[in-house]
Each structure stands twice: as C-alpha cells, then as structure tokens.
A = this chain, B = another copy of it.
Amino acid sequence: MHKITMLGAGLIGMFYTMVLHGNRSRDHVNVIYSRSADRAKQFAADWDIPNYTTDMAAAINDPETDVVVIGLPNSMHEEAVALAAKAGKAILCTKPLGRSATEAKRMLEIVEKAGVFAGYLEDLVYTPKTLKAIKSTRNGALGKVLWARSRETHPGPHSDWFWNKEMSGGGAIIDMGCHCIEISRNFIGKEVRPMEVMCWADTQVHPIEAEDSAVGLVKYASGAIGQFEVSWTFRGGMDLRDEVSGTEGTIWLNHWLRTGMDMFTAKGEQGYVAEKAEGETGWLFPVGDEVGALGYVEMFNDMLNSLDRYSADKNSQPMETFYDGYVVNAIMDAAYRSIESKRWEPVILDDWRGSNDADSGAQMSEYDADHFLIKEEKMPDGKTKLILKEKAGGKIVQKVF
C-alpha cells in the first residue's frame, strides 16, 4: 500500500483522490496541499484525509508518504517535481508535463538524475476502450496503422488558470491536444518518430489571448498521420472520440456522448448530469462510470502496480512516462510554431529513444505474374470487379467476372 501526498485541491485533485480511494483500495491520500487553506481544509474533510497544508514543501516531505501526485496548474509542475525528486519520492504528474519541451526535458532530467520512479498522468490513454483498442491494434487487427484521429472538444475548462496563457502555457492545444497527440502515438506506435506538424488554430469565440480551437496533423516516420482536433467552443457537452484506420481495419471510439445510455426527461432532476453536460432536460447522454470512462482507474492501477515492481526492478515503468510527456510537449511546440509560420514544422527531439526507421508508402500486392492488385469489389449486379496495374508499363485495367 501507498500513502500519498496530493498537490492540488481542484477538480483534477478531486478526481484523482476519488479514484485512489475507490474500489476498496489499499492506497490512501495522507496529506492534501492547496494554495488556499480553506480549500485544503474542506478537501481533507470531504475525502477523509488526515492532513492538510498550504506549504507545498511540507506536503511533499510528509514523512509518511512515499508518492507525490501533482495536480497543480502547469506553471507549478517543475517546482513540484524538483522538490519531490529531492525528497526521493515517486512522482506522478498530471498532463501536460510542461508548458514546453524545454521545461518538460528539465523535469525528465531531474527525475532520471534523482533515480526516482516517475509517471505521466495521461489518463485518456488508459480508458478501458482505448486500452482494448491499442491491444487489438498491437495484435494486428488493423494491419499497418495509417491514420489516427483524436478529438476532444467541449465548451471550455473549469478553472480560471486554464484560460490564462501564462499559467497554462497555451490554450486548447496545451489543455487537450496533449491527450489527442498521445492517444495517436499509442495507436501509431511509440517507437515511430514524429517528424513534422502542420497546425491551424484560432480564437474563434472566447475573449481570450490563447487559441480556443485547433486542428493539427502530425506526420510520422511510418507515413502514418496523427490528427488532433481540440476546441473550447463545442456545444452539446463533451465530445471525446478517437478513430483509427489501418490497412486491415478500423476502430471508432466514443467515450462520452454516445456510450449506450440515453435519457429523455421532460422534467430533469436536481443537480449534476455529467462532466460538461449542457442542459438538464430533453435527451441526455450520461456516462455510467465517469472516472472509469476517463481512464483514471486503470491509470492509477498501472502507476501504482508499476511502482510496486520498481523496488525490485528499476526498469519497471508505467505505460506513460515523463519521456512520453516530453515527446508530447515537443509535438505541441512544433504545432505552435506551425500556427505562426503557416507551414509544416519539424518536431525537434534532442533526445529520441525510439526507432529511426522510415517505413512509408504503398505496399505492392501481387495479383499474378503480370499484374499488381489495386482493388477487388463486389458489384450491385453480383459480379466481381478487379482493378489491376500492369507490372510492365504501369497501365491500369479492370476485369469483371
């Protein structure tokens, strides 16, 4: 079992604590830190936490805890990581790791130098659907992955600091693009190098400095494309969908608004419907197990199980590491540069630990000695049509039989 220092008493700290304490868990939060004494006190009372404080260093150095969970605004991640590494504790940091690749790389170096266990709390990679889809993809059900779209849009975040570019490091991209990019990386393969990024972004609706909408394309060495779509302007709730396609198949995931529970109510009920729901009457689409569907449960299972193994085996790593957080930041940096330059921008990775192979382009599929097969199709009249390419000369012909 683990006793945990929780840094941050906002919505994310609440979700984390709910999950860490849930399901008859043997782990427990031992101290909660918040910048506000009132919130810290209330949070401790709400969640049965023995200690609270407004002194971050004291929380981290609590002699009973062995794990520090960072659920703070982005601008405070690095300081918290440094203090926790110094204390020799396991560190689990929320997404995004940094506000830039430079900041993320410093955090990566701090934990590696200190030799402490570190996990990157990228929850949406851990939703049960995503885990199952990644496994099927790894097992070859889709063949070679060609394209992975990940979309997260809703009417805007909960807390003021998200909307403040200085504290967050950006807008919708830094808030949600990090999820989408890492989901695509998991489908395409983390060993495949991200090469370059093209991104559009704009401030379409809200009176803020940062972007409230963005669409980006990430080109990988394999020829695959990762596509991210993020927005704080979406109406209708929270749209959380992924699509992957490969040479042999397709996966569609819908995490929030269409998960098999539809409710019409003319009357409504009092209170909360679902995260970022709009409206309380009419057709609603609640999610049964919200924290499960968002990946929090499997994420902390993996983090703490990996940590348990770590004492015996220093190679034990969670599925999502600080290195992954750094790669994601590097891709987001390229996206922000592309918005300015209006062209594809290279992903700059000083420290690339994956493969350098390129493997893109069409695969020739032989039909017979003289032809490549382009396509085979069943027609409305019951016949089969083949589209073939002559090996000699490259002429395209069709056969029907």
- A interface with B by C-beta (< 8 Å): 1, 11, 14, 22-27, 127-133, 136, 139-143, 146-147, 153, 155-160, 163-164, 198, 200, 202-208, 212-213, 215, 217, 219, 223, 225, 227, 231-237, 239, 245-255, 258-273, 275-286, 288-289, 292, 297, 300-301, 304-305, 341-344, 360-365, 372, 374-375, 377-382, 385, 387, 389, 396-398
A377 touches B158 (CB 8 A): yes
Say which residue of B157, B277, B379 sits within 8 Å of A378 (CB atoms). Answer: B277
Kindly provide the distance from the CB of A219 to the nearest chain B CB, expressed in whole angstroms. Answer: 7
Kindly provide the distance from the CB of A65 to the nearest chain B CB, expressed in whole angstroms. Answer: 16
B277 touches A279 (CB 8 A): no
- Are A342 and B344 also in contact (CB < 8 A) when A203-B361, A396-B208 are? yes
B136 touches A263 (CB 8 A): yes
B272 touches A380 (CB 8 A): yes
Say which residue of B128, B147, B212, B217 sits within 8 Å of A289 (CB atoms). Answer: B128
Contacts of A271 in B (CB 8 A): 378, 382
In the complex, what distance in Å separates the CA atom of A270 from the CA atom of B382?
8
Kindly provide the distance from the CB of A245 to the nearest chain B CB, expressed in whole angstroms. Answer: 6
In the complex, what distance in Å separates the CA atom of A250 from the CA atom of B155?
12
A253 touches B260 (CB 8 A): yes
B24 touches A305 (CB 8 A): yes
- Are A129 and B261 also in contact (CB < 8 A) when A23-B297, A164-B396 are? yes
Which 4 A-B residue pairs are closest in the complex by CB-CB distance? A128-B288, A282-B282, A236-B264, A128-B289
Contacts of A281 in B (CB 8 A): 279, 282
Contacts of A1 in B (CB 8 A): 26
B389 touches A268 (CB 8 A): no
B272 touches A362 (CB 8 A): no
In the complex, what distance in Å separates the CA atom of A381 from the CA atom of B158?
13
Contacts of A396 in B (CB 8 A): 160, 163-164, 208
A389 touches B208 (CB 8 A): yes
A234 touches B225 (CB 8 A): no
Contacts of A254 in B (CB 8 A): 260-261
- Are A272 and B382 also in contact (CB < 8 A) when A133-B263, A251-B263, A266-B249 are? yes
- Are A207 and B364 also in contact (CB < 8 A) when A133-B263, A200-B219, A292-B289 are? yes
In the complex, what distance in Å separates the CA atom of A264 from the CA atom of B243?
11
B289 touches A264 (CB 8 A): no
- Extra contacts besides A11-B380, A158-B377, A200-B217 (20): CB < 8 Å: A23-B301, A133-B263, A133-B286, A141-B268, A143-B267, A146-B204, A157-B375, A163-B374, A164-B396, A207-B364, A248-B266, A251-B263, A254-B261, A258-B260, A271-B378, A272-B381, A275-B380, A279-B281, A283-B283, A283-B285
B269 touches A262 (CB 8 A): no
A223 touches B202 (CB 8 A): yes
Contacts of A11 in B (CB 8 A): 379-380
Say which residue of B205, B276, B343, B344 sits within 8 Å of A363 (CB atoms). Answer: B205
Kindly provide the distance from the CB of A34 to the nearest chain B CB, expressed in whole angstroms. Answer: 15
Count chain B CB atoms within 10 A of each CB in A22, A142, A265, A275 and give the residue with the most: A265
A234 touches B227 (CB 8 A): no
Contacts of A23 in B (CB 8 A): 22-25, 297, 301
Contacts of A160 in B (CB 8 A): 387, 396-398
In the complex, what distance in Å separates the CA atom of A261 from the CA atom of B156?
25
Say which residue of B200, B233, B247 sits within 8 Å of A198 (CB atoms). Answer: B200
Contacts of A249 in B (CB 8 A): 235-236, 263-267
In the complex, what distance in Å separates the CA atom of A207 from the CA atom of B354?
29
Kindly provide the distance from the CB of A88 to the nearest chain B CB, expressed in whole angstroms. Answer: 22
A269 touches B140 (CB 8 A): yes
A24 touches B301 (CB 8 A): yes
